[in-house]
Amino acid sequence: MSTKIGLDRLIREHPFFQGMDAEACETLAGCAANERFNGGEYLIRQGEAANKFYLIRHGSVAQELRVPDRESIIVQTLHEGEILGWSWLVSPYRWTMDARAMQLTRVLSLDAECLRGKFANDPTLAYELFKRFIPVMASRLQTSRLQLIDIYG
């Protein structure tokens, strides 16, 4: 089995891409790579180029916000079946927080530059992906609002 076919299968099986047609998953597989992070390792760092997004296959990742003169605050913890990272969708394509593996974490990363190139040639693919990202973004913003209410309300 080729790597591309294996990545295509992993994309199709991830909840984020459930129901996406096989051809689109194959196209996305061309931008994908398997990665692993040990507990404590950072997947992303605030301020760095947002050049990927991640499908969490195993493990958990803490999204952390750096606060001057204090320890980082864990904003949210993501688990198997969730995605990490949408800053690659919004210019200037910089991460707005850190993300650290809480334990051994296996992910499928998708290269943002590769994806943006594919979107230019396939607006239907772009629409399919954006349609999946928007509910995730809305849910995460709602979670942040509720945390603020809990802290300041």
Residue 5 corresponds to which tokens in the numbers above?
């076919």
Counting the structural domains of the chain, the total is: 1
State which residues form the domain around 112.
Answer: 3-152
* CATH number, position 34: 2.60.120.10
Q: Report the predicted TM-score, pTM, of the whole model to 2 decimal places.
A: 0.88
Give the model's pLDDT for residue 116.
93
Backbone angles phi, psi at 125, to 5 degrees: -65, -45
Give the model's pLDDT for residue 1.
42
| 124, burial (CB in 10 Å: exposed 0-12, middle 13-18, buried 19+) | exposed
Cα(first)–Cα(last) distance of the chain, in Å? 55
In the chain, which stretches have pLDDT less than 70?
1-5, 153
pLDDT tens figures, 107-117? 999 999 999 99
Give the model's pLDDT for residue 67.
83
Residue with tokens 């891409």: 17
Give the model's pLDDT for residue 151.
72
pLDDT tens figures, 124-148? 999 999 999 999 999 888 887 887 7
